[in-house]
Every structure is written in C-alpha cells, then in structure tokens.
Amino acid sequence: MDEELEPGLERIAAAARRPVHFDTRFDDRVMAAVRRTSRPSAGAPRRLAIAAGIAALMLGSAWLGRRTAPGGDRSAAAVRGTAAADRVVEFVVLAPGAAQVTLAGDFNEWSTSATPLEATGRPGVWSVTLPLPAGRYEYAFVVDGERWLPDPNTPRAHRGDFGLANSVITVTGRT
Amino acid sequence: MRESYLLQTPPAPETVTPRAPFGGLEVAGSRRVTQITHSEVCTSDAGIVAQVLAGDVEAYRLLVERHRDRFARFAVRMLGNREDAEEALQDAFIRAYRSLAQCADPARFDHWCFRILANRCRTRGARRRRHDALFVADDAALEQAAASGGIGGDGTDTSDIDRVLEQLDARSREAFLLKHVEDLTYESMAALTGEKVSALKMRVKRACERLRELLEAQDG
C-alpha cells in the first residue's frame, strides 16, 4: 500500500466503505428502461456522414473565426450537413502550449481519452471532427488531462461540480 | 487473472476473498476484501457483453446485478443521498447499455461503466448544488456526527459519513473515495479519471487535510 491513513481518517474511510445495497427493484427499473432503449449495435462505431459544419471554439479571449449560419441558434447554427443520419461537427480550440487536448461529452460518455483533438498546423490550434446524430449534447475540452474548459461561444448547461460549466451544442436534424 | 477467477465456482457466501474492486485495476493494498455473492455467477463480463450484443437484452441484468452494489456505494458517497445515487447509477447503466458496442475491452466492463458513472455523478452533483437543496453546513454535519458517536465512530450512521464527505469539494471527495474507499492505485485513478497522478495526489492530500480539520473541530 502506498499511502496509509492515520487512525482518525481511517475511521472515516472505513465508514465510507460500508456496503450500500440497492434492491432488485432497482434492477427491474434499469431493465425496464433498457428494454425501451434501442439495442446496442454490435457493428462498427457510428458511420461518418459527409456533412460539414463548424462549431468554432475559443480559449481565453482568442477568436478563431467561427462560421455561423445567420439567424440561427449559436450552437445549432454551427452545425450543417447534407448527409443521411449524422451531422459532422468540427470542434476547434485554441490551446497554446497544450501537449494534449481531448473532447469529453455526452456523445462519448464523458471519456477524457476517447476523443483526442489533433494539432492543425496552426500554432496552438487543435481540432476534431465528430459525426453526431440530431440532439442536444453537453461537452467540454480537457487540456493536458486535467484542465476542463467549456466553450465560451456556446450556451452553458450549468456550473459543473468542478467549477466549470458544460457547454451545450444542439445538432439539428436534416431538413 | 480475473477471467480465470470468475470461471471458478463461487465460494460459500461467508468466504471472504481478496479481489480487485474493479476488474483489471490495481488496488493499493490487500487490506480490503470483497465478499463473493451468489450473483457473481460463473460468466465473465466479456461473455455477457457478447451475449447482449448478440441480441440477448435480458443478459444485461447479470451485469447490473454483479456491479450494482459496488457502484451504488460510490454514487451514494459522491452524491450524499440514495435518491440521486440511484438516478445516477440507473442513468449510467442505461448509457452503458446504449454504448455497449463501444466498450473497447468488454472484460473490463466494470471499469468502463464506472467511468460513465463517475461522470454522471459529476453532472448530477452539479445540478444538485445548483438547487442547493442538500448542502449541509459544517456545524450541522459535525453536530449530527457527534450525536451518533463521532465521525467514523462505532455508532456512526453512514448518512453522517455522507454529510461529512460533502464537506469536501467534489474533486477532493472523488479522489479520496477512489483512493481510500475503492483502494485504487494512483495509476488506476489516473486511467479512470483522465487526470494526472500529481493532481490526484494533491486532491487526496487536500481531502485528508480537510477531514483532519473536521476531526479536530469535533474533538475541540
């Protein structure tokens, strides 16, 4: 063990280790919801569509020239597309000095490693392109694995537990 | 190792056998033991995941039964009450089901699902704080803990512990729980949270300092 607790703190940890039981009605509720949910596909991850759009994001006060359709909701208007099921959204962030930037959100179960951004060749500019079905998504950037950054150009959902607000993007369906 | 272990016949319920709290994740020591229950049937998580993906929706219940209590403890300790914890865990299981095909290593379904749960707890915790319904002041938490025998004392109700843990900021609470309740190594915590080991060590340290303050206030 690499870190022992003194007796006082160990008492707290021991109390926190006491089991918590949810009964089988919990399982029933989960399974009822699962049955109402579309079945998971055993195939490849969701296919990239050929639509294009940009949700341009900024870090600090630096702008990156977000392309926005006139008259629309900020985030929704930032996503455009022409193809079948999904819209393609490009997330761009300016993060000078970052060694790694990832995107975490509802679309990847808030994984901080599943969706890395790539350096674009422009100094400090990172981007990633994602296919997203129509819907509302909360997201944030994670810089160097520890700094969570919301997008100042899109609406915020709420202040997160970690003192940051998630950003929200709404991907509209094909018209 | 876990795979072969799970393929053995489960021991009698009273048998206590060391087992990693999350498959494939290293634990920091051997002091913690987990009782084997009958629900841990002789089927691997990977096998069940394959079964579900092949169309057997009902097989998913086995994963829920197997990991429910372990996840429930974390959710309750993170969120401070059963109602929010149940909703967060239900949400996590459903999201995991929907995304099951994207589980890169089905043998570590529990690790993957736990990450989803941790994020759901963050989101739900933020919503709860926004409404500020359950946040308890230090004095109130200490008073209640003292009334039941002191923080972590023999007579302490676990709800008192949850109130005490609420005195930690969410980052510190999560780090403390992963380290000293789930017994994960810092490397496993980093893999789980995406945070750096150095940052996690700092959060655990801060959590311990804060808890020490609460203990001193109680003793004083």
Tell me the C-alpha to C-alpha distance, in Å, between residue B215 and each of A121, B128, B145, B209.
Answer: 53, 26, 10, 10
Average pLDDT over residues B121-125: 80
Asked if the C-beta of A7 comes within 8 angstroms of chain B's C-beta atoms, the answer is no
**Beta bridge partner(s), residue A149:** A141
**For A73-120, how does the pLDDT look when each residue is reduced to its tens digit (9 = 90+)?**
232 223 433 345 567 888 888 888 888 899 888 888 777 788 899 988
| Number of continuous H segments (helices) and E segments (strands) in chain B | 10, 2
**Beta bridge partner(s), residue A133:** A86
**For B42-90, how does the pLDDT look when each residue is reduced to its tens digit (9 = 90+)?**
478 998 999 899 889 999 999 999 999 999 999 999 998 888 999 999 9
Which residues are CB-contacts of A76 (< 8 A; sequence separation ≥ 6)? A169, A170, A171, A172
What backbone torsions phi and psi does residue A25 show, to the nearest 5 degrees?
-65, -30
Of the candidates B73, B97, B119, the beta carbon closest to that of A34 is on: B97
CB contact residues (below 8 A), chain A span 119-138, against chain B: 138
CATH architecture of A54-171: Sandwich (2.60)
Domain ranges, ordered by start, for chain A: 54-171
CB contact residues (below 8 A), chain B span 13-72, against chain A: 28-32, 52-55, 57-58, 60-61, 64-65, 68-69, 72
pTM of the model: 0.57
Distance CA B151, CA B153 (A): 5
What backbone torsions phi and psi does residue B7 show, to the nearest 5 degrees?
-80, -10
Q: How many CB atoms lie within 10 A of CB B11?
A: 11
Q: Which pLDDT does position B68 carry in this prediction?
A: 94
- Look at residue B96 and tell me whether its pLDDT is greater than 50: yes
Mean pLDDT estimate for chain A: 68
Closest CA to A140 of A158, A125, A118: A158
- Look at residue B4 and tell me whether its pLDDT is greater than 50: no
Which residues are CB-contacts of B174 (< 8 A; sequence separation ≥ 6)? B78, B118, B121, B122, B193, B203
Tell me the C-alpha to C-alpha distance, in Å, between residue B165 and each of A114, B176, B210.
Answer: 30, 9, 10
- Quote ipTM for the complex: 0.70
Q: Which pLDDT does position B110 carry in this prediction?
A: 92
The answer to whether the CB of A68 falls within 8 A of the CB of A104 is no
The answer to whether the CB of B211 falls within 8 A of the CB of B168 is yes
Q: Answer yes or no: do A40 and B99 touch at CB < 8 A.
A: yes
Asked if the C-beta of B180 comes within 8 angstroms of chain A's C-beta atoms, the answer is yes
H/E run at residue A54: strand A54-56
Average pLDDT over residues A22-51: 68
- pLDDT tier, A61 (very low <50, low <70, confident <90, very high otherwise): very low
- Look at residue A71 and tell me whether its pLDDT is greater than 70: no
Q: How many CB atoms lie within 10 A of CB B41?
A: 13
